[in-house]
């Protein structure tokens, strides 16, 4: 990423700089430089090469931050944002547009100032080196702690450049499906990515699926080294979870709004990268997989564990690379070209599910005899998952060959419990 060498700024709703906005826009821009800078700083260009970054007066920056904290209004959420941009144009657009929403107070930090380094644990160099997108993630906002990345992005969608990504070290109120809380221990990668998509409204359900596919593909890229090209043991649990060995290691929460002629999409993603609690993490499962594969070659568990320690910045970049590619394909050709890969990456082909008889919507496929043949004990209907329907829900078949569309009833944490079925034409 190409950094600005600048001192910190503090903004509060309605978004006025504590200082001069004109001065903020005159900050020196550091271009690409050969080699890697020792002692930190940001990265420049697609190559990931780092430029030496001049330092500003630490005392002034610290004093400004302290003053901002002391004068924050009660009830305001204070957010520390470390800004990494891939170009001067992207950075300038952010500086010109960004204003905190009501209830937020934001301190902005750039590489080169006393508090400008990204949060501890996030490797900006690894991120920059691995990122190959055209737009997505070219403006990265990194914060050590925030209530919810998706809530912040939702509240600030109108004042952030296209493709902005917000990544957090910790979330205090991370959101999951149905309003459930997503816990965020140290080592978890949590981010929200913004993108606008010009697709028909009927295609909205498929956005969730392409995001999950991008996560699986990105994880495979990130860990291709320690696994020597083998695919990590991760799969999609419909509709939005990432599982390994029966344990959840990640998930996605998609927020869409219709604006003008397209969807504004916020993809919130959480991945257990190096935190082994509360379930397991990518680092642990990849190390186990690599150790098993290398046992015949004399590779020890220690070597496998070391190889599996991929920086979260690199994992984030790999996921964003595939997410942008999936978005682009979705806009140009729909989900059809990705469906086969999606179904190859999920857990459910051929899975038997039971649906309450009382939840049946529509007529039985071939009269009472077929309905009786499909029904099990206790008034439940047994169906087999076959794929996705044209409208983006589960496609299932019964014992008589009838085709059914299954939709969740919204009453269970497990989306495969409490399914409602609708008869599809033969």
The two structure tokens encoding residue 376 = 């099990």
**366 cis-preceded (ω within 30 degrees of 0):** no
The predicted structure's pLDDT at residue 76 = 86
Distance (Å, whole) CA 344 – CA 341: 5
The predicted structure's pLDDT at residue 249 = 94
The predicted structure's pLDDT at residue 171 = 92
Contact present, 87 and 2 (Cβ < 8 Å)? yes
Element (H, E) at 293: helix 282-294
Q: Where in the chain is the domain with CATH 3.30.930.10?
A: 123-138+164-347
**Sign of the dihedral through C-alpha 39, 40, 44, 46:** positive
What CATH number does the domain located at 123-138+164-347 have? Answer: 3.30.930.10
Beta strands in 126-246 (DSSP E): 139-143, 165-168, 188-197, 235-237, 241-244
The predicted structure's pLDDT at residue 358 = 46
Ranges in the chain, pLDDT < 70: 1-8, 12-74, 114-117, 174-183, 295-301, 356-379, 409-413, 418
**80 cis-preceded (ω within 30 degrees of 0):** no
Distance (Å, whole) CA 212 – CA 280: 18
The two structure tokens encoding residue 111 = 């590489």
Closest CA to 208 of 252, 249, 174: 252
Closest CA to 111 of 52, 160, 197: 52
Element (H, E) at 316: helix 312-333
Distance (Å, whole) CA 272 – CA 308: 13
The predicted structure's pLDDT at residue 361 = 44
């Amino acid at each position: 990423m190409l950094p600005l060498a600048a001192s910190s700024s503090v903004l509060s709703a309605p978004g006025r700089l504590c200082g001069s906005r004109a001065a903020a826009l005159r900050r020196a821009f550091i271009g690409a430089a050969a080699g890697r800078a020792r002692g930190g700083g940001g990265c420049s260009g697609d190559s990931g090469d780092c430029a030496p970054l001049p330092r500003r007066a630490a005392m002034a920056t610290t004093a400004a931050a302290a003053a901002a904290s002391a004068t924050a209004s009660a009830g305001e959420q204070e957010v520390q944002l470390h800004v990494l941009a891939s170009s001067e144009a992207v950075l300038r657009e952010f500086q010109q547009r960004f204003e905190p929403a009501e209830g937020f107070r934001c301190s902005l930090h750039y590489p080169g100032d006393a508090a400008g380094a990204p949060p501890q644990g996030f490797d900006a160099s690894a991120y920059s080196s691995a990122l190959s997108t055209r737009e997505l993630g070219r403006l990265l906002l990194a914060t050590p702690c925030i209530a919810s990345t998706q809530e912040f992005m939702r509240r600030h969608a109108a004042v952030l450049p296209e493709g902005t990504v917000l990544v957090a070290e910790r979330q205090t109120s991370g959101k999951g499906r149905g309003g459930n809380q997503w816990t965020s221990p140290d080592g978890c990668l949590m981010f929200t990515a913004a993108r606008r998509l010009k697709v028909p409204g009927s295609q909205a359900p498929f956005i969730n699926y392409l995001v999950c596919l991008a996560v699986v593909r990105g994880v495979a890229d990130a860990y291709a080294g320690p696994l020597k090209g083998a695919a990590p043991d991760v799969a999609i649990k419909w509709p939005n979870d990432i599982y390994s060995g029966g344990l959840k290691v990640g998930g996605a929460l998609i927020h869409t709004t219709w604006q003008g002629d397209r969807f504004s999409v916020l993809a919130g993603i959480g991945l257990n990268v190096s935190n082994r609690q509360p379930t397991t993490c990518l680092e642990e499962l990849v190390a186990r997989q690599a150790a098993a594969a290398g046992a015949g070659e004399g590779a020890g568990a220690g070597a496998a564990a070391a190889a599996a320690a991929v920086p979260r910045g690199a994992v984030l970049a790999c996921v964003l690379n595939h997410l942008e590619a999936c978005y682009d394909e979705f806009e140009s050709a729909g989900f059809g070209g990705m469906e086969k890969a999606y179904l190859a990456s999920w857990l459910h082909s051929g899975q038997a599910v039971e649906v309450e008889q009382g939840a049946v919507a529509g007529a039985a496929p071939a009269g009472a005899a077929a309905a009786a043949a499909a029904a099990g004990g206790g008034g439940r209907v047994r169906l087999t998952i076959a794929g996705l329907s044209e409208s983006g829900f589960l496609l299932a078949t019964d014992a008589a060959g009838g085709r059914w569309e299954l939709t969740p009833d919204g009453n269970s944490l497990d989306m495969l419990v409490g399914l409602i079925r609708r008869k599809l034409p033969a």
